[in-house]
């Protein structure tokens, strides 16, 4: 579902007739979906409906059984494993429910590492990471190890890591699922702020509040298919 205004924007995500089968299980059954630059799209549906499989396809973590997946001009089906790894590092940023930080690195190094893996010199990577920490209000926690951070702080570090390489697309998998209500609200506000400055978002969630606060479009999944799409008015 796009408006005339949206149709002028670059297509960042395009899935055409995507199927994914695991043995006899159809995880995705002919999914076609388009996300344009600057959109914030939430995907909802019951457990087992295909939401996580969709996210894995867009992230280049899994390959379709049939159909095509394009992200920011890259046909993921044409990339080998090395190409997919480079794609993930440079084109998408991922925010996970349980943060996925490295426990033996302080917060700043967790974030800087994302750029160093693409060949950015350590000093330059740490400078960029510190800029993000300042923007996200966690500069005073830069030398703290993950175990000593609150859930909300850990998720902000994870957001900084996801933004480190200036991705075309930010993927969020249940980003408030492991947080208390106050920290969850703060992460929602952060996602809204990022989208308002042009960051394209794809959010997978079970939480209607998160979808209606952070997204401009809702895609509902059922049985591996897009069951319904609808425009949303943000509930601030």
pLDDT at 3: 52
pLDDT at 236: 60
State residue 43 phi and psi, 5-degree precision: -115, 125
Pick from 55-64, 90-99, 137-146, 227-236: least confident: 227-236
pTM: 0.92
Contact 159, 167 (CB under 8 A): no
Contact 45, 220 (CB under 8 A): yes
How, if at all, do strands 40-44 and 66-71 pair? unpaired
Which H or E element spans position 20? strand 11-22
CB atoms within 10 A of CB 193: 12
Over residues 190-209, the mean pLDDT reads 95
Contact 234, 192 (CB under 8 A): yes
pLDDT at 234: 72
pLDDT at 233: 84
pLDDT in tens, 55-79: 999 999 999 999 999 999 999 999 9
Task: Give me the domains of the chain, ranges plus CATH numbers.
Answer: 10-231 (3.40.50.300)
Measured in residues, the chain has a length of 236
Instruction: Give yes or no for residue 5 having a pLDDT over 60.
Output: no
């Amino acid at each position: 579902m796009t408006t005339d205004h949206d149709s002028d924007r670059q297509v960042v995500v395009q899935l055409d007739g995507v199927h994914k089968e695991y043995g006899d299980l159809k995880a995705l059954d002919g999914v076609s979906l388009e996300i344009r630059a600057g959109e914030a799209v939430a995907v909802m549906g019951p457990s087992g409906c295909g939401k996580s499989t969709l996210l894995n396809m867009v992230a280049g973590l899994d390959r379709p059984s049939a159909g095509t997946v394009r992200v920011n001009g890259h046909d993921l089906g044409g990339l080998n494993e090395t190409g997919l790894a480079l794609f993930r590092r440079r084109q998408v940023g991922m925010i996970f429910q349980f943060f996925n930080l490295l426990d033996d690195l302080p917060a700043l190094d967790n974030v800087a590492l994302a750029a160093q893996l693409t060949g950015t010199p350590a000093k330059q990577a740490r400078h960029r990471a510190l800029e993000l920490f300042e923007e996200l209000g966690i500069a005073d926690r830069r030398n703290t190890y993950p175990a000593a951070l609150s859930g909300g702080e850990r998720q902000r570090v994870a957001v900084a890591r996801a933004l480190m390489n200036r991705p075309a697309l930010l993927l969020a998998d249940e980003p408030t699922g492991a947080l208390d209500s106050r920290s969850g609200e703060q992460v929602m506000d952060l996602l809204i702020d990022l989208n308002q400055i042009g960051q394209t978002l794809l959010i997978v969630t079970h939480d209607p509040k998160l979808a209606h606060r952070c997204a401009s479009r809702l895609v509902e999944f059922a049985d591996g298919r897009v069951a319904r799409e609808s425009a949303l008015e943000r509930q601030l």
